[in-house]
């Protein structure tokens, strides 16, 4: 009997055995028994590899490697969302996904089978979230937390020698330019809060040096302060003699008055540069690339030194065993970012109260706990009259 014939027979027997096992489980195991809980917090993925000759071992190894990589990709999609994946795709496939098996905390092969000329494997794996977050931060892919950063756009557009910019006559109503629309969409998609200067201009006398096309950093900062911005995205865009559109952007910190980061890019254009739709499409492409480069630096600069540690009062109720509390405390320390300290304050009957030092607010804490894939058991939540966060173990 060849290896392949033997393996096909094995798969048929395994399928029959699997069906019998399923029937036994269905008949004898009560509804809701711990089958699903054993996979809580894990990602299930299928890996596949062609079989070359009769080399099943090599096919299994390749299928497992594919499954682990798919698990990382699945986690990143859930972690960063659609926009995060789209905006950072190149950096993810170049710097995060390759060699990412170190981010897998553990895995288990649940099933494997030969079908046709391919070897398929079903794997349950758990991602080490802390390792992933460290790698994301290291390459500048950070997610925004807390209040949204307010940004003001001041980009000078030059077309055929004519210069267009809103701060020349900010009191006069006007429609947003294609550049402003592209900037607003790109940064809003990344979690920022764009300022509509046409609705925010206060009634003040503006000096002439705040209306000129090219502003000093000090005057840019004054505009930011006037419109209550956290950051001003300033720069210029225009066309070159070789039918290209260029754009340079700088991010200025309004609070400190210094430059956070800058980025520039030039895009070749095929077609008539006077075509508004064509220019708008090019602006969208340029701004998306530049926004992806600037965003990590802006988030780091504006949140540095502004995070406060809050003391949260939490009670874990309806505990069956003390080990459940130990598991929950271990989960908080290992998986919930922002935890600075955990102090047990009270024990009574089936409840334990703790005091948590957390870098963030209550809503952030609850979101990170209740939506985390590694939560050791299901929890209900409510706030007591004294403001204590109460988790009821189901």
Same-domain check for residues 161 and 284: yes
Question: CA–CA separation, 49 vs 250, rounded Å?
Answer: 47
Same-domain check for residues 348 and 250: no
Same-domain check for residues 244 and 178: yes
- 167 token code pair: 């701060």
Residue 135's nearest CA partner among 188, 186, 95 is 95
Residue 144 belongs to some domain of the structure: no
Residue 273 belongs to some domain of the structure: yes
Q: Which of 247, 279, 303 is the last residue of a domain?
A: 303
- Judge whether residue 356 has pLDDT over 90: yes
> What residue ranges in 294-350 does DSSP mark as E strands?
309-317, 339-348
% the chain with pLDDT above 70: 83
Residue 196 belongs to some domain of the structure: yes
Question: CA–CA separation, 233 vs 261, rounded Å?
Answer: 10
Q: How confident is the model at residue 41 (pLDDT cuts 50, 70, 90)?
A: low
- 293-345 pLDDT, tens digit each: 888 888 878 765 455 678 999 999 999 999 999 999 999 988 887 788 999 99
Task: Find which of 4-18, 29-43, 135-149, 362-376 is predicted with most confidence, using mean pLDDT.
Answer: 362-376
Domain at 164, CATH number = 3.40.50.10610
**pLDDT for res 3:** 44
Cα-only R_g, the chain = 28
Of all helices (H) and strands (E), which one includes residue 16?
A: helix 3-28
Range of the domain at 239: 150-303
- 101-126 pLDDT, tens digit each: 777 888 889 999 987 788 999 999 88
Helix 3-28 crosses helix 56-87 at what angle (to 10 degrees)? 60
Same-domain check for residues 189 and 316: no
Same-domain check for residues 174 and 116: no
Residue 143 belongs to some domain of the structure: no
pTM beyond 0.75: the answer is no
**Residue with the larger pLDDT of the pair 185 and 146:** 185
**pLDDT for res 147:** 65
Same-domain check for residues 292 and 325: no
Pairing of strands 118-127, 104-115: antiparallel
**pLDDT for res 33:** 35
Q: Which of 260, 276, 303 is the last residue of a domain?
A: 303
Residue 145 belongs to some domain of the structure: no
Of all helices (H) and strands (E), which one includes residue 380?
A: strand 379-383
Same-domain check for residues 270 and 343: no
**pLDDT for res 328:** 94
Eight-class DSSP state of 51 = P
Domain at 344, CATH number = 3.30.70
Three-state DSSP at 175 gives: coil
**pLDDT for res 22:** 39
Same-domain check for residues 208 and 277: yes
Q: How many domains does the chain have?
A: 3
Same-domain check for residues 261 and 343: no
Question: CA–CA separation, 53 vs 76, rounded Å?
Answer: 35
Same-domain check for residues 52 and 170: no
Q: Which of 87, 113, 138 is the last residue of a domain?
A: 138
Domain at 124, CATH number = 3.30.1660.40
Same-domain check for residues 317 and 287: no
- CA dihedral sign of residues 347, 351, 352, 358: negative
Question: CA–CA separation, 309 vs 339, rounded Å?
Answer: 9
Same-domain check for residues 130 and 165: no
């Amino acid at each position: 009997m060849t290896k392949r014939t033997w393996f096909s027979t094995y798969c048929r027997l395994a399928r029959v055995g699997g069906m019998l096992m399923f029937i036994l489980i269905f008949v004898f195991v009560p509804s809701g028994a711990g089958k699903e809980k054993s996979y809580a917090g894990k990602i299930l993925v299928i890996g596949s590899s062609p079989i070359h000759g009769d080399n099943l071992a090599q096919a299994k190894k390749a299928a497992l490697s594919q499954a682990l990589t798919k698990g990382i990709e699945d986690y990143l999609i859930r972690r960063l969302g659609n926009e995060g994946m789209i905006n950072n795709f190149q950096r993810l496939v170049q710097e995060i996904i390759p060699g990412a098996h170190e981010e897998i905390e553990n895995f288990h092969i649940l099933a494997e089978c030969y079908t046709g000329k391919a070897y398929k494997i079903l794997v349950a794996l758990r991602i080490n979230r802390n390792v992933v977050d460290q790698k994301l931060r290291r390459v500048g892919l950070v997610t925004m937390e807390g209040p949204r950063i307010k940004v003001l756009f001041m980009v000078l557009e030059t077309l055929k020698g004519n210069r267009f910019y809103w701060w020349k006559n900010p009191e006069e109503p006007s429609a947003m330019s294609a550049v402003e629309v592209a900037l607003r969409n790109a940064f809003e998609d990344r979690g920022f809060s764009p300022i509509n200067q046409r609705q925010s201009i206060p009634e003040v006398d503006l000096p002439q040096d705040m209306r000129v096309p090219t502003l000093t950093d000090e005057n840019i900062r004054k505009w930011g302060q006037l419109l209550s911005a956290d950051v001003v995205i300033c720069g210029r865009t225009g066309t070159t003699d070789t039918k290209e559109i260029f754009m340079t952007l700088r991010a200025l910190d309004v609070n400190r008055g210094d430059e956070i980061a800058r980025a520039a890019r030039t895009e070749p254009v095929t077609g008539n540069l006077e075509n508004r739709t064509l220019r708008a499409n090019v602006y969208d492409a340029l701004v998306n690339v530049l926004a992806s480069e600037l965003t990590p630096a802006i988030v780091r600069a504006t949140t540095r030194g502004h995070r406060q540690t809050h003391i949260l009062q939490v009670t874990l109720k309806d505990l069956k065993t003390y080990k459940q509390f130990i598991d929950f405390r271990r989960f908080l320390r290992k998986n919930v970012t922002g935890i600075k300290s955990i102090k047990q304050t009270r024990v009574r009957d089936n409840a334990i109260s703790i005091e948590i030092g957390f870098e963030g607010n209550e809503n952030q804490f609850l979101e990170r706990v209740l939506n985390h894939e590694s939560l050791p058991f299901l929890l209900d939540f409510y706030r007591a009259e004294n403001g204590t966060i109460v988790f009821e173990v189901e």
